[in-house]
Structures are given as C-alpha cells and as structure tokens.
Amino acid sequence: MTADRLATRISPLLELLYPEEHAEACRGVVALAEQYADLLRRRHLALPTHRTACLITYGEGIRRHGETPLHTLAAFLHEQVGDVISDVHLLPMFPWTSDDGFAVVDHRVVNPDLGTWDDVGRLAEDYALMFDFVANHTSSSSPWFTGWLARQPGRDGFYLERDPDFDVSRVTRPRTTPLFHPFDRPDGSTAWAWTTFGEDQVDVDVRNPATLLELTDVLLGYLARGASAIRLDAIGFLWKESGTTCLHLPQTHAVIKLWRAVVEHVAPGARLLTETNVPHEENISYFGDGSDEAHLVYQFALPPLVLHSFVSGSSARLTGWASGVGPVSRTATWFNFLASHDGIGLRATEGILDDHERAALVDRTRAHGGGVSMAVRPDGTRTVYELNLSYLDALCTPEEARDAGIVAAKALAAHSILCAFLGIPAIYYHSLVGSAPDHEGMATSRINRRINRAMLDADRLLDELRLDGRRRAVFDGMRHLLDVRRRHEAFSPYGTQQVVSLDDRVVALRRAAGTPDELFCVANVTGQSLTLPTVHGRDVLTGRAVEPLTLGPWGYAWVRPSTTP
C-alpha cells in the first residue's frame, strides 16, 4: 500500500474523529506510518493456520532465582512445551503500579524486573509474540499523566478532567469505584480525572489528535520490537462522548479501523485483537465488515457456556449459541479461550443463560472459596461481572477437585472443545500446567483476580510436572491435544464448522465437512458413559477405530468419519 492509498483509506476515519483537524491529523499518521514502514518493510508475517495455538502468560509467570523471568519462560517453553504452541501472548510486560501490569507507567520500556527487549527478542526467535497494548488508560504515575497534571507543553488534552457540562449519566462501567478521582496538581489545584477502572488507571483522551498520534506510535513501536499481534486491552471504552454510554462508540470503531489500515501498511500479516468483555452481539461488532477492523475478536461467550455445560450436565445452551458462530472472513477469525489472567466473565451470557443458570455458576465459584466480582449498571444497580477461580476447579465440585483424575478428565474434555472450535485456541499457562487456585494470593492481596495469577517457581514446577498427578495428567493431555490439532487442516481458523445435535450430554462439532480433512469432534460433558450409534470412523487422538463411538465420563474424541472421501 502506498502512502497516498493509506491517506485515502484513513482520511474519512479521521474526518469522523476530528472534523476540524482531520487533514493535519492525516498527515501526521501517514508520516508516522512511513517512518515505521522503512523499519519493517522486510518483515513477512503469514496468516494463522491450523498449526496456530497461543499460550497466554505473564512475563514473570514462571521464575527461577538468578535468571530474568523472560529468560526462564523462554527456556521452559523451549524445553517442556516445544512447537505445540506457536504464539505467546505476553501480558503487560512494562513498568506498572497496580492491577498486575494493567496500570502502565511507560509503554515503551520492558519492566526491568522481567528482563530487557533483548530477552523479548530471544523469545520471538521461537514463537510469534502478541504484546498487550493498554491504550485506554495509564498509571497515575505515568510521565504522561504527571506531565498533564503539571501542564507541561505537549500534554494538554491528554486526559479527561471532570466537566459539569459533560453528561455521564449513561456511562457503562465494569467497576464499582467512582468514575472520577482527585489528583493534586503542582500548582496546588485539584484535577478530577476520569478513571474507568480505578484510581490508579487514568483514561487518556483520544478526542485530542496528539493523543491518538502518541498511541499510534506506541502500537507501531511494538511491531518494530517483534510483535506479530497486538491485543487492544479494554478498547471499547476508548472514546468518550457526553450523554452516551461511552462504550462501543462509532469513534472507537474508527480508531481501530485506522490502526488496522496503518498496521497493514507497515507490517502486512500482523494482527489486531480486540478485548471487549460484553454481550456477544456487541463483541462481534469489532470485526467491522470482516476486512476493515479487528483481525481477531475474543470469544467471550465460550468460557462461561462451556463451564455451564459441565456444571449443568447439558450442552444445550452452548450448542444453541454455537450454531450461530461461523466463519468471519478470509482475514478475520475468533480468538478462543477458556481461562485467562482475568476471571470467567458473565456479561457475554446475557440473553443466553437465565438468572437461575448464572446463579448456579456463582454458587459453584463460592463453594470453592472463589471470588465474585461485580459491576455497576448505568442505573446504579449491581450485577455479576466475573467469577474468580481457576477454570479447572470451576469445572468440578469441591469434592471432585480433590481427585486428580476427575480434574484432568474434565479439564481435557473442556479443552478438547476449545481446540476444536472455529478460530485460534489460546490456553492460559495455569491451565496448561494444571494449577490449583491460589486462595492465599487472593486473601493476602484482597484482589479477587489474584486467585488465578500465581507466579510459579520453575524448578518446583518441573518437579511437580513429574510427581504431582494433577499437573502431570493435565500437562501431558494438553500437549497431546495441541500436538494432534496442529497436524489436521480441518482446524483451519478460517474454515467451516457445523454444530451437530446428537445428545444434550455432548458437544459435537463437524470441522471441514465434506472434505478429505473432515473431523467430527465430540465431548461428553457428563459423568455418564454413553454411546453415539451414528458416529463411525477413526479417532485421530488415539488412533483407534470407532464402531460406533463410546465415550466414558467426560470422554472426548476427534473422529475421521469412515465415509469421508
């Protein structure tokens, strides 16, 4: 794409954002893109394939005394995981002050407690990397914010100060904390700044063209530092407009479309992933027309609906919803996950699960001593936002969680669904190694999400992967699923998927139907054994003939039908 073509593509977007300043803004964005294009012109990135699978981890998720955590992580992945994982999503690896990395002090510096950009580069030699871009807000200790408080030249308009003429009555929030917090300016005055996610996370003001240009420079800098994909954290809240919900506004979509155009100009094949934990229909709006906005969108409904299937013993809700999920385009697809650094979000279940079904998930979480995090609706009422517990334990009753065999069986059955589902599978590092919930971490920090964010000692972990029945069974089973998956083109993230109604006790997905690569993927969500008389062929996970398919409690199979040409 030439500079002129880029300008033509982004000019209407900037005219929507900055009617009075769009021409100047366009010149600034194009000049910045051209600067990075010179750095990145030799970089060639391919689209994801059936061999693509992502690990979600903190840079310090696995540690060893005397080593930088990023070095330890790279060694663990190289020696223990290998190429069953192709991509690594590094959660925020920058200096931070709160929220385990999401209150970023400096977007351009690797946290020295984790390592250096050289460590990141060495990891990128073996894996494609996704960097986290916390674009919506910064730490209150960020030089951007302290400069804004001090009224430094160039920082004017970077943040949002409370304005009595700005109507916030409809603002949608994922937190129960105040929307504005006071901060002292060096001149003795007080600035009340917009804080969607809490006092230490101050929202930037992208209504200022200079702010957009600064953020765009950060994003392109990540590509120059080796990122193959960029996760846009909490991106739905980016633009603020008086009298609106300040969520999913047209201007927010315009910014993402602009960034896609710029990314495709400087690094074709690089991908943008939007993180918007909202009801499904709102979430998928970030695909745009399938070719002009996000390359990847989180499948936020999948984690709670898979969990509901195992808790209720019925796949009806999951399969009913999944019947409406299909291919997006030749360049856009789903980013599927079950667990992450956050909790199990319930917003995506609105309109899918009823109050009784949602309450059963809350009860399961509390039975394990987990946390339940709340959000405030615009009318001031509170609702459940997410469940805080390790996903593997949430699948089980407290009694079942004491049985390593049951934990592994349920974990692998659930992840067989994840790995078979249309899109790219992403596995959280605690799920990969079969971790139990960190109740102590949650209690001592008083942060619910810490229950699933423990940092692991590398040497102890290696011992436990050999000696601990739960860790060993889950880890070996996960690697086998991923290894088999990458060998079958049926799992193309841009391929086809059909949901088949066989029995409410199973999830049944047909991938690449009618082709030589067809696979029939079935998982039993109950503790009952069952036989499916219509399923025949060979299970590619075990190599055994299926005549017909019989599944034990929480059993699963990926069957190459005997009738496939």
442-451: per-residue pLDDT in tens?
A: 999 999 999 9
Beta bridge partners of 396: none
Q: Is 529 exposed, middle or buried (0-12, 13-18, 19+ CB in 10 A)?
A: exposed
Tell me: pLDDT of 464 over 90: yes
Residue 348: name the closest of 360, 358, 335 by CA: 358
Short-list 304, 319, 280, CA closest to 361: 304
Burial 157-184 (b: 16+ CB within 10 A, else e): bbbbeeeeeeebeebbbbbeeebbbebe
The C-alpha atoms of residue 87 and residue 127 are separated, in whole angstroms, by 5
Mean pLDDT value across residues 370-375: 92
Q: Would residue 348 be called left, alpha or beta, if left means φ above 0 and alpha means ψ between -120 and 50 degrees?
A: alpha
DSSP, res 130: E
Please choose, from the candidates 159, 165, 64, the residue with its C-alpha nearest in 3D space to the C-alpha of residue 115. 64
pLDDT at 166 over 90: yes
Cis previous bond, 398, omega within 30: no
- First-residue to last-residue Cα distance in the chain: 42
Say which of 132, 203, 205, 233 is annotated catalytic.
233
The neighbour count for residue 398, using CB atoms within 10 Å, is: 11
pLDDT at residue 38, rounded to an integer = 84
Given a cut of 60, is residue 43 above it in pLDDT?
A: yes
Average pLDDT over all residues of the chain: 96
pLDDT of 508 reads: 98
Domains and CATH numbers, the chain: 54-136+208-352+399-491 (3.20.20.80), 497-561 (2.60.40.1180)
Q: What is the pLDDT of residues 93-144, one digit of tens each?
A: 999 999 999 999 999 999 999 999 999 999 999 999 999 999 999 999 999 9
For residues 349 and 385, the answer to whether their CB atoms sit within 8 Å is no
Specify the pairing of strand 201-203 against strand 137-139.
antiparallel
Q: What is the largest CA-CA distance in the chain?
A: 80
pLDDT at 564: 45
d(CA 69, CA 504): 45
Per-residue tokens: 201: 């996370």
pLDDT-above-70 percentage for the chain: 99
Query: Taking Cα atoms as reference points, which of 219, 225, 231 lies closest to residue 39?
Result: 225
288: left (phi over 0), alpha (psi -120 to 50) or beta: left
Output the pLDDT for position 375: 82
Q: Would you give the distance in Å from CA 545 to the centre of its chain?
A: 37
Task: Select from 339, 391, 401, 319 the least CA-distant residue to 361.
Answer: 391
pLDDT in tens, 321-350: 999 999 999 999 999 999 999 999 999 999
Give per-residue pLDDT as tens, 200-249. Answer: 999 999 999 999 999 999 999 999 999 999 999 999 999 999 999 999 99
Supply the pTM of this predicted model: 0.96
Active site residue 106: no
CB 553 within 8 A of CB 526: yes
Question: Which residue from 423, 280, 424, 430 is spatially nearest to 346, judged by alpha carbons?
Answer: 280
CA distance 359 to 382: 14
Instruction: Please enumerate in sequence order all residues whose Cβ is within 8 A of that of 22, keeping only pairs 6 or more positions apart, or say none.
Output: 11, 14, 15
What pLDDT does 563 receive?
63
The token duo for 212 is 């957009």
Question: Amino acid letter at 321?
Answer: W
Residue 87 has pLDDT above 60, yes or no: yes
Query: How far apart, in whole angstroms, are the C-alpha atoms of residue 236 and residue 246?
Result: 8
Strand order in the sheet with 382-388: 344-345, 382-388, 371-376
Q: Compute the average pLDDT of residues 195-203.
A: 97
Using alpha carbons, list the distances in angstroms from residue 529 to 293, 397, 448.
44, 19, 36
pLDDT in tens, 284-297: 999 999 999 999 99
Q: Would you state the pLDDT for residue 110?
A: 98
- Asked if the model's pLDDT at residue 565 lies above 60, the reply is no
Q: In this predicted model, what pLDDT tens digit does every residue of 350-359 receive, in sequence order?
A: 999 999 999 9
Instruction: Kindly state the percentage of the chain with pLDDT values over 90.
Output: 93
Query: How far from 296 is each of 36, 210, 266, 335, CA to CA, in Å?
Result: 23, 27, 18, 6
Return the pLDDT at 379.
74
**If you average pLDDT over residues 398-414, what whole number do you get?**
98
Question: With 70 as the cut, is the pLDDT of residue 159 above it?
Answer: yes
How many residues are given for the chain?
565
Region 439-459: what's the mean pLDDT? Answer: 96
76 within 8 A of 179, measured Cβ to Cβ: no
CB-side exposure of 15: number of CA atoms within 13 Å?
6
Buried b / exposed e over 64-99, threshold 16 CB at 10 Å, is: beebbbbbbbbbbbeebbeebbbbbbbbbbbbbbbb
Q: Are 260 and 292 contacting, i.e. CB atoms less than 8 angstroms apart?
A: yes
Rounded mean pLDDT of 150-165? 95
Q: Is 29 helix (H, G, I), strand (E, B) or coil?
A: helix
Instruction: Give me the DSSP letters along 39-84.
Output: HHTT---PPP-TT--EEEE-TTSEE-TTS-HHHHHHHHIIIIIGGG
Strand partners, 337: 426
